[in-house]
Amino acid sequence: MVLVVVVVLVVVVVVVVGGRVVVVLVVVVLGASVMVEGAAAVVVGSTASSPPQAAASRAPARSIRWTCMARTYPGGCHRGGVSAARSLRHDVLVVCPPGLEELVVGELIDLGAKRTRPHKGSVVTDLTTRQLYAANRHLRCATRVLVRVAGFTARTFADLERRLGEVDWSPWLSNEAQPTYRVTSRGSQLRHTGAIEERFAAALGTGHADGPGQLVVVRVSRDRFTISVDSSGAPLHERGWRQATAKAPLRESVAAALLLAAGWDPATPLVDPMCGSGTIPIEAALLAAGRAPGGGRDFAFRRWPCFEPGTWASVTATADSPVAPTPVILGADRDAGAVESARSNAERAGVADLVEFRQAPVSDLEAPGGGPGHLVTNPPWGGRLSPGGDLRNLYATLGTVAAGRLAGWGLGLLVADRVLARQVRPGLTESLHLDLGGQRATYLTGRLSGVS
């Protein structure tokens, strides 16, 4: 609602002209229009059931709508053209591979998050702008960081269009930005995700052909819409260094999780005797070097209109904190191509001097000095790498060699088949249950005792 206020000022001016007193009345009329708090909810947006024609007009609709969102999602509030986001908190959803939620909670607490609520495949929290930037740069086990920008109930497309018109997109989307959508709907009146996406595309526009992409995540559950913008861009496990891959590579975030869940102390040795493209040893070296996992890549939030370069500079200014003394980190694989990939990946990650890679079969495993440390590995699972018959022998060899040469070391074993894993060592603890893109896996941890 807009109030029009009119102020009338009457000024009496007395002048003496040629000995005569002249009284002049000056009437000044001042007009002003005032936006009343909460009125934003009625501004802009078609109530027709067909998508509104807003594609080319994202900009004019933006600047006036902050009032309503400020109450629920303060991160989106820009009062008087000055970003207030630094002192406010963003409502954040950190997405991660299912099974890694508790590790992500620990990482968020290390970054200063106060409240964390894990759900399957995600952790809900609230972060300051600085913590949001730091989360993208420093979280090792997460996939992406979403910022919730709106939440409302809509049961008809007319409702949806009206509510979309109330959302202030201006902090998150420049006029050039090209939104893409990920829509899911469960138990709701509006269940046709394609039609929902059409309404979003009409409300947000298509941006500029050369504009930056911006993922908008829309979740509809029992008629309740939750709308988030992705602050990460490429998934966070894409650190940038793993350009060469061997067979069945692990996500970098999962490799980091295996190290954290095993309780590996980065001041002690680490061995992966079936390292493939080197993901586990390279993540170990990044941990030991105290290097930010996202230190060599870009993030979507840097293209947001509300991006704060000074806050970002304070995050990137944080120095690496390497452990001392530098631990021995070893990777080995019987496959020459895998070892070559691992070496080139380590070069790109800037940790080639911290990791040694060898072409060798598991049976040649040797204990490096400085132990006890940890053996963390992801042996072949059969389905992906081998017809299966020889896996029992491979797992049994790993168990015998490890117990014989690494007695007293910690063990971390990512497997798909827990029965097969008993060949390595019975009685291991099931530390993580993972869902890796539909493939279930168990992470077993324990301690190697000597062969009797």
Ligand X SMILES: C[S@@+](CC[C@H](N)C(=O)[O-])C[C@H]1O[C@@H](n2cnc3c(N)ncnc32)[C@H](O)[C@@H]1O
How many residues interact with ligand X (rule CB under 6 A)? 22
Within 247-266, the residues that bind ligand X by CB under 6 A are 247-250
The piece of 23-31, 294-302, 372-380, 424-432 that touches ligand X (CB under 6 A) is 372-380
Tell me whether residue 182 or residue 247 sits nearer to ligand X (CB atom).
Answer: 247
Within 70-129, the residues that bind ligand X by CB under 6 A are none
Distance between CA 377 and CA 370 in Å, rounded? 19
* Minimum distance of ligand X from residue 444's CB (angstroms): 15
Tell me whether residue 233 or residue 278 sits nearer to ligand X (CB atom).
Answer: 278
Instruction: Record the tokens describing residue 103, joined without a space.
Output: 């590790």
Within 280-309, the residues that bind ligand X by CB under 6 A are 280
Instruction: Record the tokens describing residue 8, joined without a space.
Output: 């009338």
Nearest to 147 by CA among 256, 69, 209: 69
The CB-nearest residue to ligand X is 276
Instruction: Record the tokens describing residue 451, joined without a space.
Output: 């062969």
Distance between CA 269 and CA 291 in Å, rounded? 18
The answer to the question of residue 274 lying near ligand X (CB under 6 A) is: yes
The answer to the question of residue 412 lying near ligand X (CB under 6 A) is: no
Identity (one letter) of the amino acid at 311? T
Pick from 182, 334, 405, 422: which binds ligand X (CB under 6 A)? 334
Tell me whether residue 75 or residue 380 sits nearer to ligand X (CB atom).
Answer: 380
The answer to the question of residue 161 lying near ligand X (CB under 6 A) is: no
Nearest to 215 by CA among 116, 303, 83: 303
Distance between CA 45 and CA 152 in Å, rounded? 15
Distance between CA 238 and CA 194 in Å, rounded? 28
* Minimum distance of ligand X from residue 363's CB (angstroms): 7
Distance between CA 335 and CA 165 in Å, rounded? 57
* Minimum distance of ligand X from residue 241's CB (angstroms): 12
Pick from 173, 183, 220, 394: which binds ligand X (CB under 6 A)? 394
Distances (CA, A) of 324 to 73, 163, 410: 43, 55, 20
- Binding-residue pattern over the window 337 to 366 for ligand X, x denoting contact by CB under 6 A: -x----------------------xx----
The piece of 23-31, 178-186, 222-230, 270-278 that touches ligand X (CB under 6 A) is 270-278
The piece of 231-239, 274-282, 303-311, 424-432 that touches ligand X (CB under 6 A) is 274-282
CB 311 within 8 A of CB 133: yes
Pick from 128, 170, 277, 311: which binds ligand X (CB under 6 A)? 277
DSSP per residue, 122-133: EEEEEEEHHHHH
DSSP per residue, 385-416: T--STTHHHHHHHHHHHHHHHSTT-EEEEEES
Which residues make up the interface to ligand X (CB under 6 A)?
246-250, 273-277, 279-280, 333-335, 338, 361-362, 378-380, 394
